[in-house]
Structure 1
Amino acid sequence: MKKILSIYNQQKEVISYLFWGVMTTVVNILIFALFHWLTNWNYLINNSIAWLISVLFAYVTNRIYVFHSYSDSRKAMFKEIISFLIGRGASYFIEQAILIVGISGLKWHEITVKIIANVVVVIINYFWSKWAVFKKKGTES
């Protein structure tokens, strides 16, 4: 049990990010699937709506539960939000490209491609969040 607790304490941030990343992915895929089943909209529109809602969810959970970020000022918080949105915006375009290739190009099932795209995006977003958005104070280059 001590060994498990030791590993948990050493990897707490990664474990927390994976948990909240999975939760964000579930939110993203569920919203995408709901719009897929309930509307006749293009999958890229459905993805955009799902992306927006899941990014808001991800920012709050990453800030509070993963990286424990607390801003001293509005300016610092604004900078953090903008950096987060820039990173997520970049991964949004990567996700859209994966969807276009997988769904329109390869003719794979929309939900399957969405899940694959989310795995790629979660990995990219972790490193962006860790190194660019929620840096520990005093680690800026």
Structure 2
Amino acid sequence: MQKLKDLIVKYYEQLSYLFFGGLATLLNFVILNIFQAAFGLDFAAGVGNVLNNAICILFAYWTNRTFVFRSKSRGAAAWQEFTKFVGCRIFTAVVDQLIMWGGVSVLGPMIAFVSPQLWANIVKLFSQVVVIVSNYVFSKILIFTKKAP
């Protein structure tokens, strides 16, 4: 039991990032499917995906700052951290948007073996893997950097 505890402590950041990243991804899928049901696939993969990303960026900032990287930044430093976070997330949101557009609008009509709604979820899953890995690298290297005391 102690070995498990030691592993959790040693890899807390990565494990908590996966956990909260998983929650953000779940939120992303829930919003995608709500938008599909309410407004249709074109909206969900287009404007809805932009709104979806905005909501998920705010959720991810709060969880990453509070639970994953345990940032203690205040004032101007916290504002700088937030703007870097949002900037990086906007970049990966554009990547997500391009993947969704290419997968749903360009490839989607050629995919006959699954429903368009299921295909949109498959494309979103692929996109989320790319986005999560990219976001962790950005967060670790550019955003939540530990400053020497």
TM-score computed with the length of structure 2 as normaliser: 0.87
The answer for the alignment partner of 1:136 in structure 2 is: 146
Residue identity in the other structure for 2:58: L
Matched, 1:126 2:136: yes
**Conserved? CA contact 1:20–1:62, under 8 Å:** yes
CA drift at 1:78: 1.0
The answer for the alignment partner of 1:22 in structure 2 is: 22
Rounded to whole Å, the distance in 1 between the matches of 2:128 and 2:16 is 17
Rounded to whole Å, the distance in 2 between the matches of 1:101 and 1:138 is 43
The sequence identity of aligned pairs, in percent, is 33
**Conserved? CA contact 1:98–1:113, under 8 Å:** yes
The answer for the alignment partner of 1:63 in structure 2 is: 65
Match of 2:121 among 95, 111, 118: 111
Structure 2 residues without counterparts, runs of 5 or longer: 112-118
SS in 2 for 1:138: coil
- CA displacement, residues 55-75 of structure 1 (integer Å, 9 cap, x when unaligned): 100000000000000223x21
The answer for the alignment partner of 1:83 in structure 2 is: 84
Instruction: Tell me how large the CA RMSD over aligned residues is.
Output: 1.4
Rounded to whole Å, the distance in 1 between the matches of 2:141 and 2:80 is 14
Rounded to whole Å, the distance in 1 between the matches of 2:121 and 2:12 is 30
SS in 1 for 2:46: helix
CA drift at 1:138: 2.6
**Conserved? CA contact 1:32–1:49, under 8 Å:** no
SS in 2 for 1:106: helix
CA drift at 1:82: 0.5
